[in-house]
Structure 1
């Protein structure tokens, strides 16, 4: 079987090993009314840069990067108002921090399920959106600050030779209770928090899937 373990995730697991960081909140500089100016005020001008960054499917997108030269602390922020760099749309959670709800890079599917207090679903692996999970029920579906949680899981082990990986590969929903996820030792690789579009109409805001409204995703 082809080796699919993520070296990048292994490095993040090492960085995230000490669980001493305080849990982030969807407020302040990371609240929906934040701006690039507020990030500069909070983290220092030398630690904040805005420009094109890699996105999904080979595309690029505009984002503000905080602590771009420190892998453990670095995170990105996207804006609903990209011209003024205002109205925070989403932010990624650094490997050294804990996301709202207690989620952290390196946690297993079972650990996240325990935090959610019920099973959830994620997408199959090995494509552009592989391992992505959102929450439409459970504790992680209703977080303080009107923010929504999205995770990406990544296998850290290969399945034994001859084991059929069809149930966990490709564009399909996989239950968090799937035993193959344990065999793959799938763990959180990235965490994104997002906010509804403040300019969306009530009809648009009520039409989103999983998060209960229209939210941006990196």
Structure 2
């Protein structure tokens, strides 16, 4: 790894490790399929600014006004590597629009980030959960990402992409298709571990890589 790429990797990992709310969360259960929501046409992600009508200043009370209190479920989630806990509110919406708001404290008046996004949410570039690696490369160029099978596996280093301006505002993480590790163990091992790899590495191709997780940072803790 050359020094510039190594510096990018260290900087990106430092951001994740020093900010617990930025840590990639474990998957949560999907909302009930019969959940009904208020009409919502704006499903745009604007890194660092908003996701649909949710902005840096949105409160729990605002969420109730926007979506209806019956669609909100308060919960507590763990921080990075299980350290600490954070208040969060699940917003259960249909048609791939559900999301989870993580708060700065128990007053639920300042959102730190929004995560667990449904497939309907997308950036201006058309990036959303489920976007395949081939499309990501068209939009981001030939970027770097962390290897699979560790805490930050599959995290894209946005500083190495065309969307470097999103660094510190958006976290993108990819994952393999189901059972890819069993079907293609050699390819899987070749791009696994605490190292960075090019998105053009041929070992990614058989693994069915798609965007698995988007985290929008609104008021990241310092």
User: By the TM > 0.5 criterion, same fold?
Assistant: yes
Aligned equivalents of 1:33, 1:147: Cα separation in 2:
18
**Among residues 88, 91, 107, which one is paired with 1:84 in the alignment?**
107
Preserved CA contact (<8 Å) 1:152 1:190 = yes
Match of 2:66 in 1: 42
**Among residues 118, 135, 149, which one is paired with 2:170 in the alignment?**
149
Match of 1:104 in 2: 128
The alpha carbon displacement at 1:151 in A equals: 1.5
- 5 Å-filtered alignment, 1:187-202, equals 187-197=210-220
75 and 158 in structure 1: CA distance in 2 versus 1, 3 angstrom threshold:
same
147 and 132 in structure 1: CA distance in 2 versus 1, 3 angstrom threshold:
closer
Give CA deviations for 1:149-208 in whole Å, capped at 9, x if unaligned: 2122111134766735443111111211111111211111111111344xx7xxxxxxxx
Match of 2:138 in 1: 114
191 and 162 in structure 1: CA distance in 2 versus 1, 3 angstrom threshold:
closer
47 and 130 in structure 1: CA distance in 2 versus 1, 3 angstrom threshold:
same
**Among residues 72, 83, 88, which one is paired with 1:63 in the alignment?**
88
Q: Aligned with 1:182: secondary structure?
A: helix
Preserved CA contact (<8 Å) 1:64 1:76 = yes
Q: Aligned with 2:110: secondary structure?
A: strand
Aligned equivalents of 2:163, 2:101: Cα separation in 1:
21
RMSD: 3.2
Normalising by structure 1, we get a TM-score of 0.67
Query: Which stretch of structure 1 is more off in the superposition, 162-171 or 101-110?
Result: 162-171
Higher helix share: 2
Q: Aligned with 1:126: secondary structure?
A: coil
Give CA deviations for 1:45-91 in whole Å, capped at 9, x if unaligned: 111122213555355532111007x59332111123x1321222111
Match of 1:3 in 2: none
The size of the alignment, in residue pairs, is: 177
